[in-house]
Chains A and B, each alone.
Chain A
Amino acid sequence: MAHWPRGMHMTQTGALRQENRHTSLGLTDEQVVAMYETMQIARKFDERAHLLQRAGKINFHISGLLQEPPQVAMAFALDRERDWFLPYYRDYAFVLSVGMTVRELMLSMFAKAEDPNSAGRQMSGHFGCRRLRIVTGSSPVTTQVPHAVGFALAAKMRGESSVSIVSFGEGSSNQGDFHEGCNFAGVHKLPVIFVCQNNQYAISVPFSKQSAARIADRAIGYGFPGFRVDGNDPLEVYRIVKEARERAVAGEGPTLIEIMTYRVAPHSTSDNDLAYRTKEEVEEQRAKDGIPKFRQYLTGLGLWSDAQEEALLQRIRKIIDEATAYAEQAPFQAEEDVLRYVYAEDEGGR
């Protein structure tokens, strides 16, 4: 039997034709195009951030390269008006998808006062923005998992049909907070979606040294479903997250999702990854990149063209150039404000 890429089927004339997978998932053509555009914005932003760090313009970058397709898919499966988002430090594509702008992200790269995440107080990749329902995060990994459970508990107590979704890496899945959070949510059937972005490395330690079993299977121990999904297939990620959200708002409790992906960049700009893995391994994984495959999918359906691609890349370059220029010249937080907001400053609690 012939093997051809997933989603392709053979017509009567023998030509391969792209099968439409997104309409049955409830996604419009405009939405899948928007998903693709967001993946590319995130990709180009990430690449620019690397260059800026190498050029000495910014101090630090921690990359989400190759993880953009599943991150965008997750966000598109959620409700931006109702849900609560608890991303982890590689979730650039995710926060872009829920409304953060390239300029805002660039302001955080340059650690400037206008950065909505922290006014430049935190390292980049430490997201948080109340307006966008993105919950502030920190550097000790996995602390956000019980927080997501707390948001879900609040939603349940108030009878709101919202879910919280929380990202973390496969290394994080070994922290007590992962287990404690999952167990709590399982007991009380809370509307929370746990997303492990398994990119195969916790800095230098490979997945085989982090866990002897699939992360998704841990869900069994907490009494809710767990799924493993190919991160390079964003439509499948979308389906799994959407179904998890439907179960959550129906009162059926949490879901654990293990997204299989790969960290093609070093852990951060402070890491030399070739000290613990080979270029060949990285290149083999890079070839599985979900972005060109998704473009191929859209092109196959007549939803995308080379001309559109070129126009998109031009538009993105302009957005990133402008954001970079803006952020570079923007002021840092004033020195007199550096020690503010340890406690509330006014009667209203702000």
Chain B
Amino acid sequence: MPVIEYIDAIRLAMKEEMERDPSVFVLGEDVGVKGGVFGATRELYQQFGEYRALDTPLAESAIAGVAIGAAMAGMKPIAEMQYADFMFPATNQIISEAAKIRYRSNNDWHCPLVIRAPIGGGVHGGLYHSQCPESVFFGTPGLKIVAPATAYDAKGLLTAAIRDPDPVLYFEHKKCYRLVSDEVPDADYVVPIGKSNVMREGRDITVIGYSMPLHFVMRAAEELSREEGIETHVLDLRTLQPLDREGILAAAAKTGKVLIVHEDHKTGGVGSEVAAIIAEELLYDLDAPIRRLCGPDAPAMPFNSPGERVFLLNKDKVKAAMLELARY
């Protein structure tokens, strides 16, 4: 199986779905001629023409709103928000419209739409090119939300999202684009939405997370295994909404010690819900209080390097939290 970069997995998913289905198209700022500011839509314009890799005016509510209209008309739009930080003008369209179209019309209309948005920091993007806005949309019924950590999942989840009959928010971590590479099959496949994935089997502690921080977790887990003999069970949520309740409970039950890790703010983040699910079902099976290691409750990360380091998770921070939990 070829090893490819996370960003190429995203691009390949779009390219293959556009080849397979003429109603699939991409729209957003700079997605056409330039191929996206990160290159995620590179060469789609050349292969599929102006309208299927459509450069839109700089107006996010229209990108989402026009995509919603086209989706209701039977197209399969993939709307790109250049940075997740800039998708807030489209929030009304996403939460009031896309999420509610099927429900409010009693299943008469539906909205098969994908909105892709790069999340996360570590690229000196300052406050407004680094945010993780998952929690803004999390908890809005009618939306599905996915956030892949690997190239395999990036392709499989995007393919699933494009084929899904309901609106899917696809949060891709910009730090993963070139940093993460793994094996991606040539053959057609999907990663089902709503299914978590055990990345590593272990018996001592469980770490539950999603997206970029899982790579810190995996490295820390290898080190803890080697240095301390601590075996970590790692669960990648992959889909944030609907959460894989069964997968979460099985992973928590495996060790009885749970650490939840994500880059989004701690308060009101996806981890709060994961902790609540475990507390509701498994409280008396736990051997330690549920821990969370997340982004701080400050507005967004600073541009300067020390500030960015304070804000972001890294392997050492994750490892320290894992070790502390293991010794509890």
Contacts and interface: CB of A to CB of B under 8 A. Distances in A.
A84 B108 CA distance: 15
A151 B73 contact: yes
B71 A150 contact: yes
B97 interface: yes
A345 B165 CA distance: 10
Interface string A316-342: 000000000000000001000000111
B72 interface: yes
A149 B69 contact: yes
Contact of B107 (A135, A151, A164, A340): A340
A121 B61 contact: no
A121 B106 contact: yes
B142 interface: yes
Contact of A138 (B52, B97, B107): B97
Contacts of B128: none
A126 B108 CA distance: 14
Interface string A132-149: 000110101001011111
Contact of B89 (A126, A149, A176): A176
Nearest to B194: A343
Contact of A344 (B65, B100, B102, B108): B102
Question: Looking at chain B, what size class is its interface with the partner chain?
Answer: 35 or more
Nearest to A139: B96
Given A140-B92, A177-B65, A344-B102, A183 B108 contact: no
Question: Looking at chain A, what size class is its interface with the partner chain?
Answer: 35 or more
Contact of B165 (A129, A157, A177, A344): A344
Interface string B88-113: 01001100110011111111111010
Nearest to A184: B62
A195 interface: no
Most chain A Cβ neighbours within 10 Å, of B25, B66, B97, B107: B66
B99 to A, nearest CB: 9
B72 A343 contact: no
A342 B102 contact: yes
Given A138-B100, A180-B59, A343 B166 contact: yes
Interface in B148-187: 165-166
A180 B61 contact: yes
A156 B199 CA distance: 45
Contacts of A157: 25, 51-52, 70, 75
A206 interface: no
Contacts of A140: 92, 96
B57 A126 contact: no
B243 to A, nearest CB: 14
A130 interface: yes
A198 interface: no
A64 B166 CA distance: 33
A65 B71 CA distance: 33
A154 B112 contact: no
A89 to B, nearest CB: 13
A147 B166 CA distance: 16
Given A143-B96, A180-B59, A130 B108 contact: yes
Contacts of B74: 154
Given A147-B68, A154-B73, A342 B109 contact: no
The 5 nearest A-B residue pairs measured at CB: A150-B69, A146-B65, A349-B165, A147-B69, A180-B62
5 contacts: A117-B105, A136-B105, A146-B64, A181-B62, A187-B57
Interface of A: 84, 116-119, 121-122, 126, 128-130, 135-136, 138, 140, 143, 145-157, 164, 176-177, 180-181, 183-184, 187, 333, 340-345, 349-350
